[in-house]
Amino acid sequence: MAARSYGSTSARVFDLFDNCGLRGVPVRWWHGDADPFVSLDQARRAAALLPDIELHVRPGESHLGGFAVADEMLATLADLWRQRTGG
C-alpha cells in the first residue's frame, strides 16, 4: 500500500481523529517544556489544531514528566468524565 500524502499538519491530525472516530473528543495534554523529542512549540502548534484541548505545560519536565503528576492527571480525567456523563 502506498503512503498517503498529506497537504498539511492539520489535515493529518483531523484525518487521524476522523478515522479513529475521535472528532470532538476532549483532549487533556500534559507536556514538559524540556522535552527533547517534542518541543513546546510543536506541542502548542498541535494543540492549536484541536477543538477541545487543555495543554498543561510542566516546567522543567522532560518527555515522560507526566508520570510525576499521575494523580493530577487521573483527577482531571475523572472530573471531565463526570462533567460529560453527568455522573
Q: What is the pTM of this model?
A: 0.71
User: Do residues 34 and 28 lie in contact, with contact meaning Cβ atoms separated by under 8 Å?
Assistant: no
- Tell me how far apart the alpha carbons of residues 18 and 70 are, in angstroms, rounded to a whole number: 28
Q: What is the pLDDT of residue 14?
A: 63
- The structural domains of the chain, with segments of one domain joined by +, span 26-85
pLDDT at 5: 44
**Tens of pLDDT, residues 16-73:** 667 777 777 889 999 999 999 999 999 999 888 888 899 999 999 999 988 889 999 9
Torsion on CA atoms 33, 35, 37, 40, rounded to nearest 10: 0
Q: 31 exposed, middle or buried (CB, 10 Å; 0-12, 13-18, 19+)?
A: buried
Q: CA quadruple 49, 54, 15, 82: dihedral positive or negative?
A: negative
Q: How confident is the model at residue 6 (pLDDT cuts 50, 70, 90)?
A: very low
